[in-house]
Amino acid sequence: MNVAKELGADQTIHIDLKSFNVETYVAKVKEALGGQGANVTFECTGNEGSTKVAIYATNNGGKVALVGLGPLEVSAPLVNASLREVDIIGVCRFRNCYPMAIYLLEKGLVNLKPLVTHKYPLERSLDAFNKIDYWSRGLSPATLRDSYSRLAALKSAFVRKFLPSIDSVRTDGNGFPIKQNTWL
């Protein structure tokens, strides 16, 4: 929450998953916004309850960006969103986000240092995944494997697009470049 504020969030609302109630948190969001819903909502956790709050707390005709990825399937109030013309936008943090992310980093417009707690060389990428506490977010080992497969595909695409020649970079069986690079 403190990092979110440091990065520019005007309001943060701590969600207690042990006593979670959708209606309570929708009310808290609207209270934080002066009694109104949000025009644009970013759901960044992938948690099913938070996804419901994001949809219900968004104004008619608003937009919900699903940034966080949790379980492969979640229950969400899609009929409610449809009746209120709330657009749900999937953001899978890869293809359409990289150009803007690279631009922001190159120009020094964002400081990611407060968000980085660990760095791993590519050959220890599985250690990085294992460091993440997936169980506290309700994810299964199958989701972890699926995430790794997606990351491997992403790395392979990155190598093809951004490195001078795919032939000049050897990759392992998962599409990761075989060289000493550090990534977050």
- Residue 83: CATH number of its domain: 3.40.50.720
Closest CA relative to residue 155, chosen from 178, 137, 135: 178
Domain membership of residue 155 (yes or no) is: yes
Per-residue pLDDT reduced to its tens digit, 47-73 = 889 899 999 999 999 999 998 877 888
CA 36 – CA 27 distance, rounded (Å): 9
**pLDDT above 80: residue 156:** no
Same domain assignment for residues 10 and 85? yes
Domain membership of residue 79 (yes or no) is: yes
Same domain assignment for residues 82 and 120? no
Same domain assignment for residues 145 and 78? no
pLDDT on residue 75: 93
The pTM of the full predicted model, rounded to 2 decimals, is 0.58
DSSP-based three-state secondary structure for 153: helix
Same domain assignment for residues 38 and 72? yes
Please, which pLDDT band fits residue 141 given cuts at 50, 70 and 90? Answer: very low
Of 41, 73, 90, the domain-final residue: 90
Q: Which residue has the tokens 């013309």?
A: 85
Per-residue pLDDT reduced to its tens digit, 11-33 = 888 777 778 899 999 999 999 88
Half-sphere exposure of 123 (CA within 13 A, CB side): 4
**Containing structural domain, residue 43:** 2-90
Same domain assignment for residues 6 and 84? yes
Count of the separate structural domains present in the chain: 2
Domain membership of residue 107 (yes or no) is: no
Per-residue pLDDT reduced to its tens digit, 76-124 = 999 999 999 999 998 875 667 778 778 888 888 877 777 777 787 877 7
Mean pLDDT score, 118-142: 64
CA 85 – CA 80 distance, rounded (Å): 8
Region for 138 from its dihedrals, namely left if φ exceeds 0, alpha if ψ lies in -120 to 50, beta otherwise? left
